[in-house]
A and B are shown apart, each in its own frame.
Chain A
Amino acid sequence: MPDKRDVTLAVNGKTYAVSVEPRRSLADVLRDDCGLTGTHLGCEHGVCGACTVLVNEKPVRACLMFGVQAEGKTVRTVEGLADGDTLHPLQQAFWENHGLQCGFCTPGFLMLAAGALQENPDMTDDDIKDVLSSNLCRCTGYQNIVKAVRLAAREMRARARI
């Protein structure tokens, strides 16, 4: 079997020392080696965005990056979004507005929106739609996802002003 390499990953503020083949995708390393199965794989070639995580706080398709490339970078996954039992405003807004059905694409949408709002908290409705059009959902028809992100953005801006 191909050789493995020792890597140390910083995921959601925790350190994971793992030994992985260089060819393993970051998504597989997160899921199989770190046990963080909240990051989902929908296509494994960068189209659907279900595997979106934040690498150095920017949204990244975890299926298009090797695990070994994440050495020395910070990774945030959906498991790191809530504050303990308190949901992140995006998670809360998805819940209140029925922004998920089967929930498979949801972690990717949450991390995509979290990264985008971090970069620009004042996105217009059209900006939000542009960003969200990079991920696929097959259940909701997107209406409630877009609505949830708009409302969460408003909530996050209101909190930031306090």
Chain B
Amino acid sequence: MSFVGRSLRRIEDRPLLMGQGAFAADCNWSGQLHMRVVRSPVAFGRILSIETEEAAALEGVVAIWTIADFDDLPPIDFRQMGLERLAPYRQFVLARDYVRYVGEPVAIVVAVDPYVAEDAADLVFCDIEELAPQLDATAEPVAFMPDVHPGLMSEPAVIRRGYGDLDAAFARAHKVVALEVKIGRHTGVPMETRGGLCVYDTDKDTLTLYGAAKVPHYNRDAISRMLRLAPGRLELSEGHVGGGFGIRGELYPEDVLVCAAALRLKRPVKWIEDRREHLLAANHSRDQVYRLKAAVDSSGFILGLQADFFTDQGAYVRTHGTTVTDLSAGLLPGPYVIPAYGVAGHIRLTNKTPAGTYRAPGRYESTFARERLIDQVAAELGLSPVEVRRVNLIGETAMPFDRGFETLGTKVVYDSGKYADLLERVLAHLDHDRLQAQLAERRSRGELVGLGLGYFVEKSGLGPQDLVRMRLDARGEIEIVTGVASVGQGVETALAQICAETLQVPIERIRVIHGQTDRIEIGFGAFASRVTVMAGSAVKIAAEALRASALEVAAKLLQTTPEALHLANGMIETVNGSASLALADVAAHLEETGGLTGEGRFASSHMTYPYGIHAAQVRVDPATCAVTIERYVVAYDVGRAVNPMLIEGQIVGGVAQGVGGAFLEEFVYDENGQPLAASFADYLMPTCHEVPEVEVILREDAPSPLNPLGVKGAGEGGINAAGAALAGAIDAAIQKPGAVTQLPITPGRLHAILRARLR
């Protein structure tokens, strides 16, 4: 029976449906204390004093600490893409000398009750000499921390990439098309806020942090280094995680502080963030400005692309280092040939919440910029946007396509893809010519309706490796232990299906252990759409090893050869059906010699590159400037679909977030750097009314040659081109090419565009 490729319901759902989840806030320990973080009320300033006496006098307060009490703690280091020159811009766990954004941790209060801790935190007074904040990443760089780091400016790095002869491209251009676009500041905002419970074991002198997510092994090692804990003194344990999207599970000041407090007090300490804190303190993302210049020939073919862009990194450089800017620069060319390319990505610090990755980091942004450019080229040359995409797509025969530079430290080599084929499939699905005629007819009757397209290349399956251990016990139950993590995307079911495919055991008999640092020595976590590619491949390898051992033992017991045996429904049978043996019996037979086990390690130094298209049809109401999405199509090639239902879930969920970023979500600041979107009343996320029905065209035309399953990650394609497609659709609806240059497209911005159109 086949297990891979089937839309099986998930094995992880039952406890979640019954209210028996184990999210961070659900973890409790007898005698626990509660931590509350005192946060900076101003965007930029020099700390004069932090007055804690009144707070300390409150009954139930156990401790109040500032950076003076954690003077020996180093700043939080980069998990990836760190550069030496970025080091001075790292964030300490509590503000030192300066505060650089509203929400920056300044002190912590530990108390016997969370309400008391919050009362006390309100009584801590931060005496801060306010300075003028930097709020525009495109403005001239300013001093990062005057006095403390003399001469250190707010542009830590510029990421440059390029190839080909740009000068020659521009010299022979039929036309030069220029464009400036901006993507707003928004982020993942999982429904579960961050949190953790750190428990000190007095007998063993060890710490366990519950509530871990995303990268438990990395965070264990990083916290251990910071607190100078010997290996084995700290373990991280992941329960249920209420959404990740790139931001949850990165190492933040609070994770280190809750461990430091538990260690110092030798008592369990719990910290649960509230929503306001989350919006002020967890990683922001996006917020880039692109300035593009394309040299094109008369057919719309891009001869050369010159790009400058600015990433508003916020107050500090966090764990991701240069990741977002690096990926933006690396994937801006997308699915197009573009024979000459030069890019400079400026990382600029401002006095806003620090930024990191959010689902499709650097791609939601760069796809918006690139696809806006393609639409602009079409408009300026009087060609159809479809035709301009067609002439620029990388051909099937050019695969694997080597871009000639690196991103995330690996060569950008598109492993496989049938780009033109997918475009034709989408056009056929839409019945494109007829649809455009219908839309034109509706426009002639005064309706503002239009269609927009966004083509994109994703990347997934970042290595370096993952390890899986598998054991089948005497009851026939399988336990898979892996170092990857689950953020709610269906990891357990996907890995169980891959295992079941090889071992022919129902997935209900498979248990997947993830995110437990005491169960397996390595693990690289859940990000970059890597779990199915990396851990999935390791599961396949482990299952094949286990299968080989089982067949070898069974062959001896049944007096035949392994080749004469096959697996079905938990049984090992001879091919002619004359004899059979339960896998469980083989496991029982091996119990005294280590049991029936398999181990798989999968390493890869290259990423896989899924690709797809978003098509959006919208209607604009000229009176209210409301935009209705009439139709939304996503075509996505993931190489091979382990569970189509889960992949469609990923895509539809991604579209919803993409719609949020395109229309609703924006961290707005006033001129003093005060955040104006610090609650769900102001930071608007889509409800089921704003999210369209999504038609998913899931393709498996270009399996990846880089892993034994042929899979490419499916987590980020749903969000990638949402902003691009919706912007194109609005341009078409109002018949004003190039009108939308900024996300989110709020009613106010659309109103300004429409008013300008009438003049």
Contact = CB atoms under 8 A, between A and B. Distances in A.
Interface of A: 1, 21, 23-24, 31-32, 36-45, 47-48, 50, 77-79, 81-82, 87, 91, 94-96, 98, 100-107, 110, 129-130, 132-146
A32 B28 CA distance: 9
A158 B393 CA distance: 53
B19 A104 contact: no
A28 B582 CA distance: 49
Given A24-B115, A102-B240, A40 B192 contact: yes
Contacts of B20: 38, 79
B14 interface: yes
Nearest to A102: B488
B493 to A, nearest CB: 10
Nearest to A142: B688
B656 A104 contact: no
Contact of B688 (A23, A94, A110, A132): A132
A44 B274 contact: yes
For chain A, what secondary structure do more than half of its interface residues adopt (helix, strand, loop), or is it mixed? loop
B693 A42 contact: no
B10 A98 contact: yes
Interface stretch (B447-455, B560-568, B645-653, B728-736): B645-653
Given A139-B653, A141-B653, A100 B16 contact: yes
Nearest to B240: A103
Contacts of B17: 82, 87, 91, 94-95, 100, 103, 106, 110
B679 interface: yes
Interface string B14-56: 1011111101011010000000000000000000000000000
A1 B59 CA distance: 6
Given A37-B19, A104-B243, A133-B687, A141 B654 contact: yes
B18 A136 contact: no
Q: How large is the interface on B (under 10, 10 to 19, 20 to 34, 35 or more residues)?
A: 35 or more
Given A38-B19, A79-B18, A98-B9, 12 more contacts: A37-B21, A48-B191, A101-B488, A102-B191, A133-B688, A138-B190, A139-B191, A139-B243, A141-B649, A141-B654, A141-B656, A143-B652
20 contacts: A40-B23, A42-B191, A47-B681, A48-B191, A82-B18, A102-B241, A102-B242, A102-B487, A102-B489, A104-B21, A104-B192, A104-B240, A110-B17, A130-B689, A132-B687, A136-B191, A139-B649, A140-B649, A141-B654, A142-B656
A39 B490 contact: no
Nearest to B681: A47
A135 B685 CA distance: 10
Interface in B682-707: 685, 687-689, 691, 693-694
Nearest to B12: A103
A110 to B, nearest CB: 7
B424 interface: no
The 3 A-B residue pairs whose C-beta atoms are closest, nearest first, are A38-B19, A102-B488, A103-B16
Contacts of A42: 191-193, 275
A50 B190 CA distance: 12
Given A44-B275, A79-B18, A95-B9, A139 B488 contact: yes
B243 A138 contact: yes
Contacts of B669: none
A146 B490 CA distance: 20
A104 to B, nearest CB: 3
A138 B653 CA distance: 7
B679 A47 contact: yes
A114 B23 CA distance: 23
B130 interface: no
A104 B488 CA distance: 9
Contacts of B654: 141
Interface string B216-252: 0000000000000000000000001111110000000
A139 to B, nearest CB: 5
Contacts of B487: 102
Contact of B9 (A50, A96, A132): A96
A95 B116 CA distance: 40
A44 B657 CA distance: 22
Nearest to B7: A98
A45 B680 contact: yes
B113 interface: yes
Contacts of A129: 688-689
Given A38-B18, A139-B243, A145 B688 contact: yes
